[in-house]
Amino acid sequence: MASDAPPPLLDLTIDNITPNTNRINSQGDDARMKYLMTRLVTHLHDFARETRLSTEEWMTALNFLVACGQISSDEFILLSDILGLSLLVDSINHPKPPGATEGSVLGPFHTHDAPTLENGSKMAFDPKGDPIFCLCTVKDKEGNPIQGVKIDIWETDSTGHYDVQHAGRDEPSERCVMVSDAEGRFWFEGIKPVSYPIPHDGPVGKLLTKLNRHCWRPAHLHFMFGKEGWDNLITALYMRGDKYETTDAVFGVKQSLIVDYGTVDAEIAAKYGIKEGMTLLQHDFVLVTEEESAQLRDKNAVEALEKLGLRMKLVDHLPVPELD
């Protein structure tokens, strides 16, 4: 599409502001950017028109955004989480074929400074935490082990806080990176996850209160799997029976990710050099290849856009309008 001269912008009204804004925003050459901006502005304006948004409500919304930006760089992730957007974006981008481990929300507490630990290491040092032994595998859909997968693992301490939420954190705790072995295994000692409130001292917490919603997440352990050629898997395991199992403030729980504790038996104890009778968390994760994930994402996109009656083509796997 050639860049047209900008439209004359005069006498803009409730009824003509949207096409005019979209026209002046469409002078660039980036088709994807133009499509994103056009849909964003159209939805934003439709929202204001449908609700007859008052000046006071508009100002309240702007002040809310300012407060989010000022309290912490993570507040907008939290906002996205509690509005279901994070779950939605993850679902769009990491579709899972049957048999693959489902994804869950990343949340704002992943860091990039976790130490890479040997299999069998302890990754949680809170003395008040209940120790658990985690024994996991990572395989493909056909059951073949995947060696050399980098696995980020992170959880809260026994008080329900991630290390980064404590003032004066010197070094990472309750987080680590492990690498799967030739049998696709990785194992470590952690502590029993506990349910905890998401940060609620800021504008997002106030919004939840106004909506009569609680700010709790059920107990869970975060995992992120990465290896070249395999679709990045961000997920979590949720402990069955948690009080907040069906009301997670950030919509992350999936039935396939709810797990039960077991007990370390004599065989496992001997094999991994740990105490018999210890609480055991065992899980087998299943990854899909980057290629399969991309194909599935494209297929889902084409089907969804057709269903919406939109004439689109995919460029770099992302839809842009199909022009005549």
User: Where do we find the tokens 């658990």?
Assistant: 132
**DSSP category for residue 73:** T
Instruction: Write out the binding residues for its own copies, residues 24-43 only, by CB under 8 A.
Output: 24-25, 27-28, 30, 33, 35-37, 39-41, 43
Per CB under 8 A, which region of 120-128, 138-146, 187-195, 301-309 contacts its own copies? 301-309
Cβ(112)–Cβ(164) under 8 Å?
A: no
CA atoms within a 13 Å half-sphere pointing along the CA-CB vector of 105: 25
Cβ(179)–Cβ(214) under 8 Å?
A: no
Instruction: Write out the binding residues for its own copies, residues 189-248 only, by CB under 8 A.
Output: 210-213, 245-248
**Cα–Cα distance, 17 to 192 (Å, whole number):** 55
**9 binds its own copies, rule: CB under 8 A:** yes
**Cα–Cα distance, 170 to 66 (Å, whole number):** 30
**DSSP category for residue 155:** -
Q: Closest distance between its own copies and the C-beta of residue 126, in Å?
A: 29
**57 binds its own copies, rule: CB under 8 A:** yes
**Cα–Cα distance, 187 to 120 (Å, whole number):** 5
Q: How far is CA 232 from CA 44, 145, 152, in A?
A: 32, 16, 11
Which residue number, 269 or 294, has a Cβ lying nearer to its own copies?
294
**Cα–Cα distance, 142 to 170 (Å, whole number):** 43
For residue 109, the SS3 value is: coil
> With contacts defined by CB under 8 A, how many residues of the chain interact with its own copies?
84
Binding-site member from 1, 2, 31, 50 for its own copies (CB under 8 A):
50
Q: Closest distance between its own copies and the C-beta of residue 282, in Å?
A: 22
Instruction: Write out the binding residues for its own copies, residues 78-107 only, by CB under 8 A.
Output: 80, 83-93
Q: Closest distance between its own copies and the C-beta of residue 270, in Å?
A: 38
**179 binds its own copies, rule: CB under 8 A:** no
Which residue number, 48 or 259, has a Cβ lying nearer to its own copies?
48
**182 binds its own copies, rule: CB under 8 A:** no
**2 binds its own copies, rule: CB under 8 A:** no
**144 binds its own copies, rule: CB under 8 A:** no
**294 binds its own copies, rule: CB under 8 A:** no
